[in-house]
Amino acid sequence: MSKGKSPAFQFYPSDYLSDINVQLMTMEEEGCYIRLLSYCWQEGDLPSDLDALKQLCKGVIPSVRVVTCFCKVGDKLRHSRLDKERKKQRDWVTKSREAGYKSAAKRWGYKRNSQVANLTEMLTPNGNQSGNQMVTLQSSSSNTPLPPKRGELLVLFDLFWQHYPRHESRQTAFRAFSRIHPNRELVESWVLWLEKAKLSRQWQDTNYIPHLSVWLNQRRWESDPPPGMETAAPGAQRVMYDDDLPAREVKA
């Protein structure tokens, strides 16, 4: 499952059992229906091709009663109730995020529209700069006071988190980030390191990218980033070590 997808949806037994279509289903049909609901939630939609649905149902062709529980949109099948559940979850996330912004503003004394809403504008390469050029931070507006040290640390972490390609264990990463307590210049150098590392073969696969907390605790930025794909020696074979990232290259 891709990042950003919700792992679960709310299941309402009373609504499910009272649905006339479900009441008329055999146990085999119910099994197909639940399985297709799960795939539809995970992927967002289903193929409308019966052969593809048969493969998803372990070789069982879903009946017309099962298929008609989904609505056809283009060449895909969607489920209206699941779409409502997705919207409900997105609304809840948005509401919670807004509450977090308000809480941070109250605690640290800075305005969201100047420090938080513009996160995507900060730590972004200017114009058409290549990845090996220095990345600069936009300064705050002159009429907006800088947040206290703790608040600025939170802002810098959010900025760097957006650039780091592996988003797991955020709280652990923030604790490691806090222990270093980096300034803006250091974060700029980290972003530069990442831009070079992202050109390597190793950093094309998130499974071989260390968690941010590991990257910080081991001070990986003090070593050279993995070599870019265009600089790898011809015939070189990449060997991955669980505890030794970035990966090394050895002659084949």
Integer Cα distance of 244 and 218 in angstroms: 10
Low-confidence ranges of the chain (pLDDT < 50): 1-2, 110-122, 125-148, 232-252
- Say which residue the tokens 């831009």 belong to: 195
pLDDT score recorded for residue 92: 86
What's the N-to-C CA distance of the chain in angstroms?
34
Give me the residue spans of the domains in the chain. 13-85, 121-251
| Phi, psi (degrees; rounded to nearest 5) at 7 | -80, -10
pLDDT of 41 reads 93
| Measured distance CA(57)–CA(63) in Å, rounded | 11
Q: Are strands 71-73 and 76-78 parallel, antiparallel or unpaired?
A: antiparallel
Q: Of how many residues is the chain composed?
A: 252
| C-alpha pair distances (Å), 41 with each of 37, 78, 124 | 6, 9, 34
Q: Residue 155: what pLDDT? A: 84
Scan for tokens 């923030």, then name that residue: 174
Would you call 236 helix, strand, or coil by DSSP?
A: strand
Distance CA 31, CA 36 (A): 9
Are 63 and 55 contacting, i.e. CB atoms less than 8 angstroms apart?
no
Amino acid (one-letter) located at 238: R
- Pairing status of strand 236-239 against strand 76-78: unpaired
Residue-level pLDDT at 99: 73
Q: What is the pLDDT of residue 213?
A: 93
pLDDT tens string 2-55: 455 778 888 889 999 999 999 999 999 999 999 999 999 999 999 999 999 999
User: Where do the H-state alpha helices sit in the chain?
Assistant: 13-18, 20-23, 27-43, 50-56, 64-67, 80-108, 112-115, 149-163, 170-180, 184-197, 212-217
**Predicted local confidence at residue 247, as pLDDT:** 41
